[in-house]
Structure 1
Amino acid sequence: MNKNLIRRAAVAALLALPLLATAQDKEAAAIRKNLGERIPALSQIDEIRKTPMAGLYEVRVGTDILYTDAEGNFIVQGNLLDTRSKKNLTEERVEKLTAIKFDELDTKNAFTMVRGNGKRKLAVFADPNCGYCKRFEKDLQKVNNVTVYLYLIPILGQDSVEKSKQIWCSMNKGKTWDDWMQRDVLPKGASSCNTDALTANLEFAKKYRITGTPTLVFADGTRVPGAINAQQIEQQLAR
């Protein structure tokens, strides 16, 4: 192809970018205005962007994803699937929005348990009344050379709140946790210390859609919902 033609095409594409951006901005503004006026819950939209499907726009509020047309006249709630690639685009988007960077976890809201040299790292979000958490803890005992950061998120009722407070306020949090989760020794003692960490953990869980326990976060950012066995833990730690 003639070099001059290539140059002209490149220049034309660059000149078209501002016009394209302006058109998209206008469409986004129209969607934001119409949805905000018609649906109070959508008065604070975080992001609006085009999807791969012609005429369909993604509307993001926090980590909640909705879809609409170019004027905000219709709302679609559900998953957007790409039949060619067989990908769930909504699921991929939510996973990206709720990804947890291990280095950004606030460890002051967790208690730490070190086994062996502690070189490998794992964060666990758990509820003291979660049966799957108890099963997971027994498997975790078979894993050595790991540092576990345990984040209490009492999501299974008021009794979970009370137990979490007693565990958090105990002199030896790790031992109290192990005694209860593995030996059914009820946590005892005061529950009136500063428990802001529990509140922070619940807010974090809501933000990142941690709705079940245990939820595991490995050092490479891999997030695993649910109890896995010792072999699977080892596989993830080795990644």
Structure 2
Amino acid sequence: MTIRTNLSLGMLVGMLGLSAHAAPAEQALLAALRQAYPATTFDSVVATPIPHLFEVWMGSNVGFVTDTHPRYMIFGRLVDVQTMRDLTAPGLQQRGAANTQAAPPATERIDPAQLPLADAIATTHGSGARTLYLFTDPQCIYCRQLELALATIPDVRIYNFLVPFQGRELPIHIWCASDRVAAWQSALRSATAPAAPLPHCAHPIDRNLALAARLGVQGTPTLIFSNGVRETGVLDAHEIEARLSSSTVAGSRAGTTQE
């Protein structure tokens, strides 16, 4: 695996050098990234105002790489602090609109009853008395950060819907594993697919992607609480605990009112 990775990086640098005069820098970098990392779906590469820095689009996710050191990718947003203009926002909005079409706004509540729980990997902490739904990608750095906070939350059952925003190979490996929970937890530590061939099993990865688009889930991680409130991004343990408590209270009140 190490030899294969080194060869890919060497080929990547070589391709960039050879194609610099034959094609625009964006196309050269896009082709090189696709060849070096075939498990990730790269849609497009866009130049930024910073020399040698490029936006790399993977579905609705974006990273930033330099054409001099494309091995390293930064996730986040590029902001002009002089004008306080978010340079990444237009691309996110454009891709979000294209991917979701008539999907509900990202702030609209989601009815947990419409979530197909059989298509999620359930992990339970303590009694599992509370419920949390999570759209997540094992290769998403923010998802791995969120897991550190989730690991400290007691008495919650988490339904993890794997979405392949950064490639299908690793999510499929996780779902097809004999122990999905163990495979999921292992992937959070390594974020790389096993060296074994891609397994063939009935998996929900494509359905999860369609579900995310239908619900307007445009990024990972996206948390959905039992009262339908959604939050996208990394929350700390205190925020998660507070929202779990408020959603549980709201659910209890709703049940009392219906009675």
SS of residue matched to 2:105: helix
- Whether the 8 Å CA contact 1:176–1:187 is kept in 2: the answer is no
Report the equivalent of 1:127.
137
Aligned-partner Cα distance in 2 for 1:62–1:184: 34
Q: CA deviation at 1:63?
A: 2.5
Aligned-partner Cα distance in 2 for 1:238–1:211: 26
Aligned-partner Cα distance in 2 for 1:125–1:202: 10
Report the equivalent of 1:170.
177
Report the equivalent of 2:102.
63
Structure 1 residue runs without a partner (length 5+): 1-60, 65-92
Aligned-partner Cα distance in 2 for 1:116–1:202: 30
What RMSD in Å do the two structures reach over aligned CA positions? 2.1
The 1:151–1:122 alpha-carbon spacing in structure 2 relative to 1, beyond 3 Å, is: same
Report the equivalent of 1:100.
110
| Cα deviation digits, residues 178-230 of structure 1 (max 9, x gap) | 1121x3275545521112x1111111111111110000000011100111111
Aligned-partner Cα distance in 2 for 1:119–1:206: 29
Letter in 2 for 1:220: N
Q: CA deviation at 1:99?
A: 3.1
Number of aligned residue pairs: 145
The 1:185–1:164 alpha-carbon spacing in structure 2 relative to 1, beyond 3 Å, is: closer
Letter in 2 for 1:194: A
Decide which structure has the larger Cα Rg and report it.
Answer: 1
The 1:113–1:105 alpha-carbon spacing in structure 2 relative to 1, beyond 3 Å, is: same
1:201 alignment partner, one of 202, 208, 214: 208
Aligned-partner Cα distance in 1 for 2:164–2:106: 23
Query: What TM-score do you get using the length of structure 2 for normalisation?
Result: 0.52
- Whether the 8 Å CA contact 2:134–2:158 is kept in 1: the answer is yes
Letter in 1 for 2:199: S
Within 5 A, what are the aligned runs for 1:1-239? 63=102, 94=105, 98-156=108-166, 160-181=167-188, 183-184=189-190, 186-188=192-194, 191-195=199-203, 197-239=204-246
Q: CA deviation at 1:161?
A: 0.4
Aligned-partner Cα distance in 2 for 1:163–1:100: 27
- Whether the 8 Å CA contact 2:169–2:193 is kept in 1: the answer is no
| Cα deviation digits, residues 64-83 of structure 1 (max 9, x gap) | 6xxxxxxxxxxxxxxxxxxx
| Cα deviation digits, residues 91-122 of structure 1 (max 9, x gap) | xx8357x5310122110110111110000000
The 1:175–1:187 alpha-carbon spacing in structure 2 relative to 1, beyond 3 Å, is: farther
- Whether the 8 Å CA contact 2:122–2:160 is kept in 1: the answer is yes
Letter in 1 for 2:214: K
Letter in 2 for 1:225: T
Aligned-partner Cα distance in 1 for 2:219–2:118: 22
Aligned-partner Cα distance in 2 for 1:211–1:95: 8
Query: What TM-score do you get using the length of structure 1 for normalisation?
Result: 0.57
Percent identity at matched positions?
Answer: 29
- Whether the 8 Å CA contact 1:122–1:217 is kept in 2: the answer is yes
